[in-house]
Chain A
Amino acid sequence: MTQAEALQEYLLRLADSDMILGQRLCELCGKAPAVEEEMALMNVALDLVGQARNWYEYAADLIDDGRDADKLAFRRDAHNYRNLLLTEQPNEDYAVTMGRQFFFDVWHYFTLKGLTASSDERIAGIAAKALKEATYHLRRSSEWVKRLGDGTEESHQRMQDAVDILWRFTGELITPDDTDRVMAEAGIGPDPDQLAKDWRGMVNEVLTQATLTPGAEDAWMYMGGKHGEHTEHLGFILAEMQFLQRAYPDATTW
């Protein structure tokens, strides 16, 4: 794998994870447990899709085959999507929604933090802006995990169940592959070992405060999203998200 190939791949991963999680949050519009949460969920979703656009634009410039950011988002099929499996998992109850957000936010925060020091200036620039947003996302989802974990008996049980359900998708966040290593060696991406250490440290800290038990470090992990092998959910997400673009392929302006 050349560095150029790895960079395109890496940018699509960042973009796709933001996009798919943003899409999942959009599904909750009008269905949140309080009006304050409506606003917050849409706000986080807006940040994520906005960041996805920035990563897609950069990826499109590098891929340089005539596809723009919209084409990358709306005309690729599931096997070409590179998002983390965690981001495509269904909303379920608010404990799962917040658990998914929290595991992602910790990864996102430390990844972006690493990327602000990237040797690639455009990446460092996008990451610096995104990090401000991700810092708020992480603060918010950590608070919710603590509230639900250390709230009532029912919320504790639901939050622990959410941690247990989602745990198998967290390995992918901190298990580096060739792309991650090439990016790190080139000084473009963050150091994978440091990222894993930071992720584990913060997740354990917050879960402990939330009176929750994390999954085992050696638990079986479901991976493959970064290589285009997804859970069954992604196909349906894209069927909805890409409906107009596929039903009206001749439309160039919307």
Chain B
Amino acid sequence: MYAQLVETGAKRLKTMEEMSPEEREFQEKVDAETKIEPKNWMPEGYRKTLVRQISQHAHSEVVGMLPEGNWVTRAPTLKRKLQLMAKIQDEAGHGLYLYSAMETLGADRDEEIEKLHQGKAKYSSIFNYPTLNWADMGAVGWLVDGAAIVNQVVLQRTSYGPYSRAMVRICKEESFHQRQGYQILLDMMREGTEEQKAMVQDAINRLWWPSLMMFGPHDDESPNSQQSMAWKIKRKSNDELRQMFIDQTVPQLEFLGCTAPDPDLKFNEETGHYDFGEIDWQEFYDVLKGNGPCNRERINTRKKAIDEGAWVREAAVAYAKKQKQRAQAA
């Protein structure tokens, strides 16, 4: 998933006694793992939170095409170029699929995109980092898609039906992307020149911490988590998911023969998990506020595409209207 800090509007959880009969019935359904469908009654906060979360996710898919677009024109082989193109195409598809899921909640795609362009809606902070060498295409697939999958696998059980179904489909494709990304790095480490190996390590050094930030703030710093968990929009806490990701990723890192830029990263025999250093939260909040390396470029590019494409969309609407009139006249 590509959603961080999704606002729920809730200061604290309501008890069952405090809930209206409708709210109680809704909560019981959620507790019983019955999927909520578009036509079912739902609390306004639930609906709004989901719109925010799904739109963030959809925006992330679309904005996430830009760091890859940065290298698709410079891929090293026909095979890698085709793979990257297919991945980008999948991402555009995920964006569309998620916007559709969001529209089942009564939200409007154009309005939500407008919010993104005005800086009112978020997308994953990871895409505000630049892709500076070819190995970034491997590292993005492995780490970024990898982090996304950890979240999304859990979200396949999310309480909202259309979102849950979107996740099932998206997870399959993301897993494929992740394996391809890892393979890019593995091939360069095994058969590459010293310069290529240095590219791989450089990509990991730059993308390691931003990937861990994708899971969002610590649980106690995440005021909206509790409500999202009760609604089963969120199924595991940020810290739990981050730990899962690290535990599965470090052995892969070692297999590559690379290192993480974290001197505190080591296996803890007692807990059976990897211990790791503290994330630079100042950087996380800075990037979220718009002060990442590429925030401006990403939003400007997206805004320009949509603004300058307005005449194209208007033409399509005008033509469709004419065609309809012609069909009626015939």
B308 near A30: Cβ-Cβ < 8 Å: no
User: What is the size, in residues, of chain A's interface with B at 8 Å between Cβ atoms?
Assistant: 49
**A155 CB within 8 Å of chain B:** yes
Task: Kindly list chain B residues whose C-beta atoms are within 8 Å of the C-beta of A243.
Answer: 74
A35 near B95: Cβ-Cβ < 8 Å: yes
Chain B interface mostly helix, strand, loop or mixed?
A: helix
**B134 CB within 8 Å of chain A:** yes
CB interface residues, A 33-59, toward B, < 8 Å: 33-39, 42-43, 45-46, 49-50, 52-53, 56
Of the four ranges (under 10, 10 to 19, 20 to 34, 35 or more), the interface on chain B belongs to 35 or more
**B268 CB within 8 Å of chain A:** no
**B191 CB within 8 Å of chain A:** yes
B96 near A35: Cβ-Cβ < 8 Å: yes
Closest residue of B by beta carbon distance from A148: B315
Q: How far is the CA of A241 from the CA of B72 in the complex (A)?
A: 9
Return the CB mask of B112-134 against A: 1 if under 8 Å, else 0. Answer: 00000000000000000000001
A94 near B309: Cβ-Cβ < 8 Å: yes
B68 near A150: Cβ-Cβ < 8 Å: no
Name the one of A36, A151, A241, A248 contacting B73, with C-beta atoms under 8 angstroms.
A241
Given contacts A27-B73, A42-B89, A148-B312, contact A254 B188 (CB under 8 A): yes
B78 near A35: Cβ-Cβ < 8 Å: no
Name the one of B65, B78, B190, B311 contacting A53, with C-beta atoms under 8 angstroms.
B78
Q: How far is the CA of A69 from the CA of B78 in the complex (A)?
A: 8
CB interface residues, B 71-111, toward A, < 8 Å: 72-78, 80-82, 85-86, 88-89, 92-93, 95-96, 99
Return the CB mask of A75-117 against B: 1 if under 8 Å, else 0. Answer: 0000000000000000001100000000000000000000000
Q: Which of B76, B80, B99, B306 has the most CB of A within 10 A?
A: B76
Closest residue of A by beta carbon distance from B99: A35
Closest residue of B by beta carbon distance from A245: B76
A34 near B73: Cβ-Cβ < 8 Å: no
Given contacts A30-B65, A151-B318, A152-B318, contact A248 B193 (CB under 8 A): yes
Q: Which of B93, B192, B312, B313 has the most CB of A within 10 A?
A: B312
A244 near B312: Cβ-Cβ < 8 Å: no
**B32 CB within 8 Å of chain A:** no
Task: Kindly list chain A residues whose C-beta atoms are within 8 Å of the C-beta of B68.
Answer: 29
**A160 CB within 8 Å of chain B:** no
Task: Kindly list chain B residues whose C-beta atoms are within 8 Å of the C-beta of A45.
Answer: 85
**B148 CB within 8 Å of chain A:** no
Task: Kindly list chain B residues whose C-beta atoms are within 8 Å of the C-beta of A147.
Answer: 315-316, 319-320
Q: How far is the CA of A70 from the CA of B196 in the complex (A)?
A: 18
Task: Kindly list chain B residues whose C-beta atoms are within 8 Å of the C-beta of A46.
Answer: 82, 85-86, 89
Task: Kindly list chain A residues whose C-beta atoms are within 8 Å of the C-beta of B18.
Answer: none
A31 → chain B closest CB, angstroms = 5
Given contacts A46-B86, A251-B196, contact A31 B304 (CB under 8 A): yes
Given contacts A42-B89, A49-B85, contact A253 B192 (CB under 8 A): yes
Q: How far is the CA of A154 from the CA of B309 in the complex (A)?
A: 12
Task: Kindly list chain B residues whose C-beta atoms are within 8 Å of the C-beta of A196.
Answer: none
**A26 CB within 8 Å of chain B:** yes
Closest residue of B by beta carbon distance from A33: B309
**A223 CB within 8 Å of chain B:** no
B99 near A251: Cβ-Cβ < 8 Å: no
Given contacts A35-B92, A35-B96, A254-B187, contact A30 B305 (CB under 8 A): yes
B319 near A151: Cβ-Cβ < 8 Å: yes
Task: Kindly list chain A residues whose C-beta atoms are within 8 Å of the C-beta of B69.
Answer: 26, 29-31
A100 → chain B closest CB, angstroms = 15
CB interface residues, A 114-130, toward B, < 8 Å: none
Q: How far is the CA of A147 from the CA of B322 in the complex (A)?
A: 10
28 A/B residue pairs, CB under 8 Å, sorted by A:
A26-B73, A29-B65, A29-B66, A30-B65, A30-B69, A30-B302, A33-B309, A33-B312, A35-B95, A38-B65, A39-B93, A42-B92, A46-B82, A49-B82, A49-B85, A50-B82, A93-B308, A94-B312, A146-B319, A147-B315, A147-B319, A147-B320, A151-B316, A152-B315, A240-B73, A243-B74, A248-B195, A251-B76
Q: Name A residues whose Cβ lies closer than 8 Å to a Cβ of B.
A: 23, 26-27, 29-39, 42-43, 45-46, 49-50, 52-53, 56, 69-70, 73-74, 93-94, 146-148, 150-152, 154-155, 158, 240-241, 243-245, 248, 250-254
5 tightest CB-CB pairs across the interface, nearest first? A33-B309, A151-B315, A29-B69, A155-B315, A254-B76
